[in-house]
A and B are shown apart, each in its own frame.
Chain A
Amino acid sequence: MASEIDGYTYIGQGYSVVPVGKHEGIAMNITTPQEMIKLMSDPQKIKETVVVTPGGTTTFVAPILYRKPAGIVTYAGTPESHLGIVGRNFRVPIVMTLQLEGVDSIPDGTPLLLECEGKLGHVYLK
């Protein structure tokens, strides 16, 4: 795992759901169904957004997968979960149970790069 890729700095790793390579997007923290519905009403924004959400069992996250977001990062859960199964079907880059290193959180609007090439997914920020 590289400490930097194309100007992005490594901030942690978690489980990769599906090996889809490197994908970039802009972080948006989503913690409520209302925030998710607001994002879903803007199809262009979804495609550029990496949804950052607390848990792998946060079921309101699932509909966003139908709209193909740039990626999803969770702080809990495993690929052997409902979110993992649906994400694998849509081949959306998902990193679950992200363990942050050197930062406490991912602020909204941060450019992210998700590297999902094996069983582990790596997250980088700019």
Chain B
Amino acid sequence: MTMLDEDAFLALNALYLKKMATTGDLAEISGLPCNQVQAMVGSFVERGWLLDMGGDLVIQTDGMAQVQDYYRETYSSLSQREDMRKWYARFQQINTQFIKHVTDWQQTEGDSKVQDRVITTVERLVKLIGEIEQLVPRYTGYIRRFERSSSAVDQGNRDFVCTPTVDSLHNIWFEFHEDFLAVLDRPRDT
């Protein structure tokens, strides 16, 4: 199997992590031009890597295999590193806090103090990602998205806390978690 090039990986991986998305979503997440992503999506559909369900794209088994192959080829040296495993242990601690804060936020119908805790936890993750940014340079994309969505929340757009249909903090967090597990070649356990 020929390995994906980086741009193809960025577009297909965005769908792999998001599970279902439009072409526009993939362009926004990958940071690639929309027309380039559109052309790639057409090619992926032809190869049977993804399914176009009236604009909603869903990755197929062969597409997943392409993404997983890229992760293995690109990150196998990182997945064995002790510092990465330690980093993940630190991530897990704030992941537990984040999920609790978002759940509390939903159950208190957006309490402002709870919302502050959500934002603070995101800021902690952004700092944490900064520590491994040199090892996985594309992780700057997550920092960009977290900062943009945090600003939206600060400006009063509460959808950007955890509404699944926008690039919310919860969506970004979830995708980052899935991404890092794939880098470590580990199954999800939380």
Interfacial residues, chain A to chain B (CB-CB below 8 A):
33-34, 37, 40-41, 57, 59-60, 62-63, 65-66, 79-82, 84-86, 88-90
Could you list 25 examples of A-B contacts with CB < 8 Å? A33-B61, A33-B64, A34-B61, A37-B60, A40-B20, A41-B53, A57-B188, A57-B190, A59-B19, A59-B188, A63-B19, A63-B20, A66-B20, A66-B56, A66-B165, A79-B103, A80-B99, A80-B100, A82-B174, A85-B102, A85-B170, A86-B170, A88-B106, A89-B163, A90-B164
A66 partner residues in chain B, CB cutoff 8 A: 20, 56, 164-165
The 3 closest A-B pairs by CB, nearest first: A63-B20, A63-B19, A80-B103
Given pairs A40-B53, A82-B170, A89-B163, 20 additional interface contacts (CB within 8 A): A33-B61, A40-B20, A40-B58, A41-B51, A41-B53, A57-B189, A59-B188, A60-B19, A66-B164, A66-B165, A80-B99, A80-B100, A80-B103, A82-B99, A85-B99, A85-B162, A86-B170, A88-B106, A89-B106, A89-B162
Q: Are A37 and B51 neighbours in the complex by a CB distance under 8 Å?
A: yes
Q: Chain A residue with minimal CB distance to B58?
A: A37
Taking a contact as CB atoms under 8 Å apart, the answer to whether B51 and A85 are in contact is no
Is B178 in contact with chain A by the CB < 8 A criterion? Answer: yes
Interface residues on B, range: 20 to 34
User: Taking the nearest CB of chain B, how far is it from the CB of A82, in angstroms?
Assistant: 5
Query: 1/0 per residue B69-107: CB within 8 Å of A?
Result: 000000000000000000000000000000110110010
What distance in Å separates the Cβ of B32 from its nearest Cβ neighbour in chain A? Answer: 22
> In residues 12-61 of chain B, which contact A (Cβ within 8 Å)?
19-20, 51, 53, 56, 58, 60-61
Chain A proximity of B167: nearest CB distance (Å) = 14
Structural contact, A65 and B99, CB atoms closer than 8 A: no
* Chain A contacts for B189, CB-based, 8 A: 57
Evaluate contact between B103 and A84: CB separation under 8 angstroms. Answer: yes
